[in-house]
Chain A
Amino acid sequence: MAAPSLAADTRDTKNLPFLYRHYPREELLGALRRMHLIRKFEEGAEESYMRGLIHGTMHLSIGQEASAVGICLPLTREDQITSTHRGHGHCIAKGAEVKRMFAEFFGKTTGYCGGRGGSMHIADVSTGNLGANGIVGGGIPIAVGAALTAKRLNTGKVVVSFFGDGANNEGAFHEALNMAAVWKLPVVFVCENNKYGMSTSTERSTAVPNIADRAAAYAMPGVIVDGNDLSAVAQASHEAVERARRGEGPSLIECKTYRYRGHSKSDRNRYRTKDEIDEWMANRDPIERYEAELSAFGIATAEELEAVREAVRAEIAAGIDFAKESPAPVVADLADYVYTEQN
Chain B
Amino acid sequence: MDTAVRELSYSQAIQEAMAIALEADERVILMGEDIGVYGGAFQVTGDLIERFGPERVIDTPISELGGAGVAVGAAVTGLRPIFEFQFSDFATLAMEQIVNQAAKMRYMLGGAVSVPLVMRFPAGSGTGAAAQHSQSLEAWLGHVPGLKVIQPSTPHDVKGMLLAAVADPDPVMIFEHKLLYKMKGPVPEGHYTVPIGKAAIRRDGKDLTIVATSIMVHKALEAAETLAGEGIDIEVVDLRSIRPLDRETIIASVKKTSRLLCVYEGVKTLGIGAEISATIAESEAFDYLDAPIVRLGGSETPIPYNPELEKAAVPQVPDIVAAARDLVSGVR
Contact = CB atoms under 8 A, between A and B. Distances in A.
Interface stretch (A143-151, A225-233, A236-244): A143-151
Interface string B20-57: 00000001010000000000000000000000000100
B96 interface: yes
B195 to A, nearest CB: 12
B113 A125 contact: yes
A141 B60 contact: no
A179 interface: yes
A125 to B, nearest CB: 4
Interface string A71-105: 00000000010100000000000000000000000
B129 interface: no
B270 interface: no
Interface in B107-128: 107-114
B76 A145 contact: yes
Interface string B166-194: 00011000000000000000000000000
A147 B111 CA distance: 22
Contacts of B130: none
Nearest to B113: A125
A264 B97 CA distance: 24
B169 A150 contact: no
A313 interface: no
Interface string B132-155: 000000000000011010000000
B109 A117 contact: yes
A178 interface: yes
B205 interface: no
A148 B68 CA distance: 13
B69 A178 contact: no
Contacts of A115: 110
Interface residues of B, number: 41
Q: Which of A130, A145, A146, A149 has the most chain B CB atoms closer than 10 A to its own CB? A: A145
A155 to B, nearest CB: 8
A166 interface: no
B100 A138 contact: yes
B101 interface: yes
Contacts of B234: none
B77 interface: yes
Contacts of B69: 138, 140-142, 144-145, 172, 175-176
Contacts of B81: 145
5 contacts: A113-B109, A123-B108, A142-B72, A142-B97, A175-B61
Interface of B: 27, 29, 55, 60-61, 63, 65-79, 81, 96-97, 100-101, 105-114, 145-146, 148, 169-170
Enumerate the 8 nearest inter-chain pairs by beta-carbon distance, A residue then B residue, closest first.
Answer: A145-B73, A141-B69, A175-B66, A114-B110, A142-B73, A113-B110, A340-B169, A175-B63
Interface of A: 80, 82, 111-117, 121, 123, 125-126, 130-131, 133-135, 138, 140-150, 152-153, 171-172, 174-176, 178-179, 182, 336-341
